[in-house]
Structure 1
């Protein structure tokens, strides 16, 4: 009798383990450093923003349990590859360089890079960058664009780990100009402390900016990619993406 119970017990434990594993939520990696209005913490300490709400809608469309998992931006791709997170949804542009190490879903939004400087600064782009100090967040498409397209302009490019560090150094006068996502820069110049600053122009279309922003996933995770693409299509077609975009940005940045 005892021998006959062992396989049954083993099977039950295996079934319970499989069920528990199946119910594990998908971990959505976002940068631990706030990136408003895309990702930031509310006054209650909860993560919110355009991409957080859109991620929730995408998970609902997949009928999947998900959880936001803050991760340092510089280590977010290694975290994906080592399976500490299951996807990256944090304004990550689809580029050829990144596609060598991870895969992407279809794009869900696109915005250009924007230059911000003091309102009284006479700035022609890109020629007028000569001898100026430009700040940009490292490991971003804007940093890639700056290295590839601006290195011959005579500008002094300074790289930062966090977007807010770039903003603070501009407002404190340690930088002459910064280059970052246009939507994020629109939010920056609306702050009271940035009333003397404005967007001076946007970066031209360049290969550094890739095909738009998509959800980063591990190479070979085809089942998840198929489900995510279907969910992205659904939130685009039913107006969810546009509604959230207009709520947070005042304009529609969704693609597809």
Structure 2
């Protein structure tokens, strides 16, 4: 269906939008907020791809930076059913049909691939195919499409390990409790480049079915959904999101695909 916000009409501007706090836009993300999506765990500085996208959406809706209030909400809580404490949440939420029964999504602002990282010394570090990963002990954060990618795409013999946060998952990789960790590709490059420097990106996983994409999350049937969706659509159409992607996610090229 056509969204009334496709041209960000007058009803899609500050003053007309029924936000949680009149005249303010409350935006949520996780704590900690990871690079390259945010920088320094400070979403309010506008640095990092998702922080920049959030402020660009706010601006399209007529909100100045000073009108944006950040709040922290855990990943799995944000996509659970029930009323939300935010106007929208930006936190690498992949759009899935299952999640749409609990929350609203905007259209996509980033097409994403999942990737496997391992210690450089690990047996799976040189893997060229999915078959090479079948005997590995793999892990991912709870409730994520990264976890789903392990069970649906890699299909290892051992049950994957689940972690409450990527921090816990990274510790497990460092401590040798798992052979490989599955995260989205930009996160994989950041972890191996800046956090666990003796780890490597083994490869990216093939797309299965619908291409995976990140969208902003809103309350189910939120009156803001059409306007926020319209803003994301405009930022995609006018090239703003592409520019932000080139600025903050430029390093995400060149991981070989595991077939």
Tell me what 1:90 maps to: 91
Matches of 1:124 and 1:211 in 2, distance apart?
22
What's the CA shift for 1:211? 4.5
* 2:5 alignment counterpart: none
| Per-residue deviation, residues 42-73 of structure 1 (Å, max 9, x unmatched) | 58995742111110111001103432211122
Taking the aligned partners of 1:46 and 1:55, their CA distance within structure 2 comes to 11
Deviation of the 1:94 alpha carbon: 0.7
Give the drift of 1:169. Answer: 2.1
CA distance 1:251–1:235, shift in 2 (3 Å): farther
Number of residue pairs matched?
230
Q: Say whether 1:38 aligns with 2:37.
A: yes
Distance in 2 (alpha carbons) for counterparts of 1:40 and 1:76: 21
TM-score with structure 1 setting the length: 0.79
Alignment of 1:125 with 2:129, yes or no, is yes
2:78 corresponds to which residue? 76
Comparing 157-166 with 170-179, greater Cα deviation is found at: 170-179
Alignment CA distance shift 1:251-1:67 (3 Å): same
Q: Alpha carbons of 1:214 and 1:45: their partners in 2 closer, same or farther (altered >3 Å)?
A: closer
Partners of 1:22 and 1:45 in 2: CA distance: 18
Gaps of 5+ in 2: 1-17, 254-259
Match of 1:236 in 2: 236
Say if 2:79 and 2:99, in contact at 8 Å, map to a contact too.
Answer: no
Higher helix share: 1
Q: CA deviation at 1:203?
A: 1.2
1:190 aligns with 2:193: yes
- CA displacement at 1:125 relative to structure 2: 3.0
Q: In the alignment, is residue 111 of structure 1 matched against residue 98 of structure 2?
A: no
Alignment match, 1:224: 224
Contact 1:95-1:210 at 8 Å conserved across structures: no
Match of 2:203 among 182, 201, 204: 201
Match of 1:176 among 166, 179, 182: 179
Equivalent position of 1:16 in the other structure:
none
Distance 1:172 1:230, change over 3 A: same
Q: 1:22 to 1:136 in 2, by over 3 A?
A: closer
The answer as to whether partners of 1:33 and 1:72 remain within 8 angstroms in 2 is: no
Provide structure 1 residue ranges, at least 5 long, that are not aligned to the other structure.
1-18
Shift of 1:225: 1.9
Q: Check the 8 A contact 2:27/2:89 in 1, yes or no.
A: yes
- Find the aligned partners of 1:20 and 1:29 in 2 and give their Cα distance: 13
Indicate the structure (1 or 2) with the bigger Cα radius of gyration.
Answer: 1
SS at match of 1:216: strand
2:252 pairs with 1:248: no
Task: Report the aligned-residue RMSD.
Answer: 2.8
- SS of 1:59's equivalent? helix
